[in-house]
Structure 1
Amino acid sequence: MKSERHDMLAKESIRKLIFKLSTPAIVGLLVQAFYNLVDTIFVGRGLGADSALGIAGISVAFPIQMLMMAIAMGIGIGAASIISRSLGMGDSTKAEKTLANMVTLVVISSVIFTILGLIFIDPLLSLFGASESVLPFAKEYTKYILMGTIFFTFSAAMSNAIRAEGHAKFAMAIMLFSSVVNIILDPIFIFEFNMGIMGAAVATVISQVIGSVMVIYYYASSMSMVPFKLGYLMPDLAISRETIGIGMSEFIFNSVESVVFILLNQSLLIYGGDMAIAVFGIIIKVFMLTLMPIIGIKHGIQPIFGFNYGANNFGRVREAVSLSNYIVFAMCMLSVIVVFIIPEQIFRVFSSDTELIKMGVPAIKISFLMMPFIGSQVVAMALLQSLGRSKQSLMITLSRQVFFLPPLVFILPMFMDLTGIWVSFPISDFLGFVVAVILMKREVNKLKVSEKNGMDA
């Protein structure tokens, strides 16, 4: 089985390989995004007259979840890049050390995050945009989410390592099974046990525990190409630095997303109040659902990039870059078409509040205008991370999330009020696309030269 996955990454057609490795990730991520939607839908439907406040509470808590994701993806993608390249070069010892160090980093960072989060929960939520009316809902949800940090971080980070060795189906099974558990438990806890917004959080944590158990089972069995060895848990500073260095762009991407959410929620509170925060909460859930297939493609192509780069198969890397760009553009276009055709129906799924729907329909249309240009940014980040180009990958993250979006969110509302906040999204999406294409094109040109000269890029 192990040699089959090795040959698959090295020899199978790129088109088939992208489909084979991405499809499981797409399915798993879509279900995962769907259960995030379900949380919001059940909270919106279960709180009756307080539905907008409940949705706003989940929205305010989202930056904390983004920080948890930042830890998981930063460590997971950094380690996965090393594991893929190590397997491509036949260095099994480094792959094993990287896997064990990955676990150590996850545990240490998760424990620190949970303790700090629980200590400072009230000021954090206020900073994230919780008004006095929204704070009780946000706190009730967030404190339980924080208690599950280690389970979420462990399962999400380790899934990247599982995908790195070409076992995408099991990584999908982890997301799929845990998500289904969440979807089943949500209505039971919220409606049958009358737990309200707390029920949604508890259901989420239980599902994350299930995902962690499945990861442990994977490495306790003989399925993995990279066996987990307790002796390598002691941190290897060189590997830890490399893991953090490569994953830093992903960590900063998600961390900056969290900071941007703070700015957005505060601006929304000023220009549109709690209702605008609720609208944004729905938009971001829909956006995440449409983005998940693109992230699934990213998960699928990263092992292809990393393995074939490590094996000096530069032509296969370039082919994968080209084909994946076409695929993600088509997927993004489909998302935009759906949003423009049924925007009102999308909001009615979450709430029957007429004010929320009236505010939300034009907002979601504006926000999704430049969605087709996001796909190439994701492909560029996947390429640069897989090849160990941490600085260039970081530049893509910083360009959209730091250099473009925050200034636009600060300036445009001065002239356009609430609409200025929605307009900030498509403008920053397009500018980020320009930066990503420049950096990706430069790397592809290096691969062409290396392929021609038969040298390392």
Structure 2
Amino acid sequence: MDRTEMLGQENVKTLIIRLATPAIIGLMVQAIYNLVDTIFIGRGLGEDSVLGIAGISVAFPVQMLMMAIALGVGIGGASVISRSLGSGRREYAERTVGNMVTMILFSSLVFTALAIYYIEPILTLFGASETVLPFATDYTYYILLGTVFFTFSAAMSNAIRAEGNTIFAMMILVVSSVANIILNPLFIFELGMGIKGAAIATVISQIIGTLMVLYYYFSGRAEVPFYFSNLAPHTGIIKESSYIGTSESMFNVVESLLFLLFNQSLLHYGGDLGIAVFGIVIKVFMLTLMPIIGLKQAIQPIFGYNYGATNYLRIRQTMTIATYMATALCFLSMIIVFLIPEQIIGLFSNDPDLIEMGVPAIIICYLMMPFIGVQIIATALLQSLGKSLESLVLILSRQVIFLPPLVLLLPLQFGLTGIWIAFPLSDLLAFVVALFMMRRESKKMEIL
């Protein structure tokens, strides 16, 4: 049985675990290196630790825009590849791989040029005060230089995963992340480069990830190979993959724009300290969310392949098992945060004001964590079935309809605490929408 056939034949629970385990490991390592990045800066800048952490927090929305490019191409292309394989259109899958490379190179180079040219206005817009702006600029400039490497390795990892090779996709994340963890203290402490060193270490690790992707395709390991002739744009593939990837891309674009609202509100109610706390909470949240994202990446090729093969019963089994697993993982992460909030915040800095503000913030933000799993599984289902509009509506329900009004209104009554409360409330409301949409799509396929 080859890698693509197992998507339609292997025991569902065994297959999910097989595909999810390497994805989770890779993503967890990647999230840990993001944490380590912030920890090294918080510990390495001494009295400027809060400003350094705030600088990274302000730069984070720019990185999310980079991720929007990678995921828009990666998720969309992977969906086309897995469905094409399921329906026996292998040549179409091969052309999709080539077109993914073309889309990544074009979009990332355009983004880099524009972002570098407008770097200071962008960072100011995202909440950088006069004291934080130098730190944010130093970090973001070097990160932007590595955009093409980051987007390429991230997007093509999805293509590799779509053909069932989750092990190599995991290795790309693990090797590049471990390299970043090793290089961080070298550049920050040994070479005395501070926040610039953290950014340079990150870019070098992304170059390593890119080289691994190139090795995969040019060594003949790929089930769906890359051919230079497939770089020529194919209107149908670009349209289909872009349409599908729009929801995932828009999630990151909207999330990035929301940081404008969040950081400006935080600057007003909590100053630079509030932005630093938010940056820490987001990094911790991303770490605990990685197992669920890994689970999502594992089930997407199963959904896509079996939808292409019209095996709807297998889709139902996958959806049910994945939903239980995601909910359990979310609940576990909530318990851990509730048990040791002070120790978690204290990892990043010894600043007593940061810890005092951070502990209640992280507890409040995690109140509805168990409901997030259903949202992620529902999004995976809709994207894999090619339901771009529906998945976009689901994502935007939380990010646009629920969260911004709550962030604007609740602080009027509760101050800074109101900003933290907005997150669990929006999670609860988005859960209701996700549950409704998941059941509706299930009934369409007559699998309930």
Q: TM-score normalized by structure 1?
A: 0.97
Q: Which residue of 1 aligns with 2:362?
A: 364
Any residues of structure 2 matched to 1:4-15 within 5 Å, and which? 4-15=2-13
Q: Which residue of 1 aligns with 2:332?
A: 334
Deviations 1:225-277 (A, max 9, x none): 11111111111111101111000000000110101111100000000000000
Q: 2:180 aligns with which of 167, 182, 200?
A: 182
Deviations 1:326-365 (A, max 9, x none): 0000000000000000000001110000000000000100
Taking the aligned partners of 1:63 and 1:341, their CA distance within structure 2 comes to 29
Q: Which residue of 2 aligns with 1:438?
A: 436
Cα offset, 1:383, TM superposition: 0.5
Cα offset, 1:106, TM superposition: 0.2
Q: Which residue of 2 aligns with 1:454?
A: none
**Gapped runs of 5+ residues in structure 1?**
452-457
Q: Which residue of 1 aligns with 2:56?
A: 58
Any residues of structure 2 matched to 1:293-442 within 5 Å, and which? 293-442=291-440
Taking the aligned partners of 2:175 and 2:388, their CA distance within structure 1 comes to 33
Taking the aligned partners of 2:17 and 2:379, their CA distance within structure 1 comes to 19
Letter of the 2:313 counterpart: G
Taking the aligned partners of 1:27 and 1:6, their CA distance within structure 2 comes to 22
Which stretch shows the higher mean deviation, 44-53 or 4-13? 4-13
Partner SS for 2:129: coil
**8 A contact 1:318–1:447 mirrored in 2:** no
Cα offset, 1:7, TM superposition: 2.5
Cα offset, 1:195, TM superposition: 0.4
Taking the aligned partners of 1:26 and 1:337, their CA distance within structure 2 comes to 19
Taking the aligned partners of 1:437 and 1:223, their CA distance within structure 2 comes to 39
Taking the aligned partners of 1:427 and 1:74, their CA distance within structure 2 comes to 27
**8 A contact 1:101–1:233 mirrored in 2:** yes
Taking the aligned partners of 1:244 and 1:421, their CA distance within structure 2 comes to 34
Any residues of structure 2 matched to 1:138-177 within 5 Å, and which? 138-177=136-175
Taking the aligned partners of 1:44 and 1:23, their CA distance within structure 2 comes to 31
Letter of the 2:46 counterpart: G
Q: 1:112 aligns with which of 98, 103, 110?
A: 110
Letter of the 1:17 counterpart: L
Cα offset, 1:415, TM superposition: 0.8
In the TM superposition, structure 1's runs of 4+ consecutive aligned residues that sit over 2 Å from their partners are: none
Deviations 1:269-295 (A, max 9, x none): 000000000000100000000011100
Taking the aligned partners of 2:403 and 2:224, their CA distance within structure 1 comes to 40
Cα offset, 1:45, TM superposition: 0.2
Cα offset, 1:6, TM superposition: 2.5
Taking the aligned partners of 1:270 and 1:62, their CA distance within structure 2 comes to 19
Letter of the 1:405 counterpart: L
Taking the aligned partners of 1:274 and 1:134, their CA distance within structure 2 comes to 8
Q: Which residue of 1 aligns with 2:236?
A: 238
Deviations 1:403-437 (A, max 9, x none): 00011101111111100000000000011111111
Partner SS for 1:272: helix
Taking the aligned partners of 1:407 and 1:7, their CA distance within structure 2 comes to 47
**8 A contact 1:25–1:297 mirrored in 2:** yes
Any residues of structure 2 matched to 1:239-278 within 5 Å, and which? 239-278=237-276
Taking the aligned partners of 1:21 and 1:277, their CA distance within structure 2 comes to 36
Q: TM-score normalized by structure 2?
A: 0.99
Taking the aligned partners of 1:106 and 1:255, their CA distance within structure 2 comes to 16
Taking the aligned partners of 2:428 and 2:198, their CA distance within structure 1 comes to 35
Taking the aligned partners of 1:52 and 1:264, their CA distance within structure 2 comes to 18
**8 A contact 1:26–1:293 mirrored in 2:** yes
Deviations 1:368-415 (A, max 9, x none): 101111111110110000000001000111100000001110111111
**Gapped runs of 5+ residues in structure 2?**
none
Letter of the 2:390 counterpart: Q
Letter of the 1:275 counterpart: L
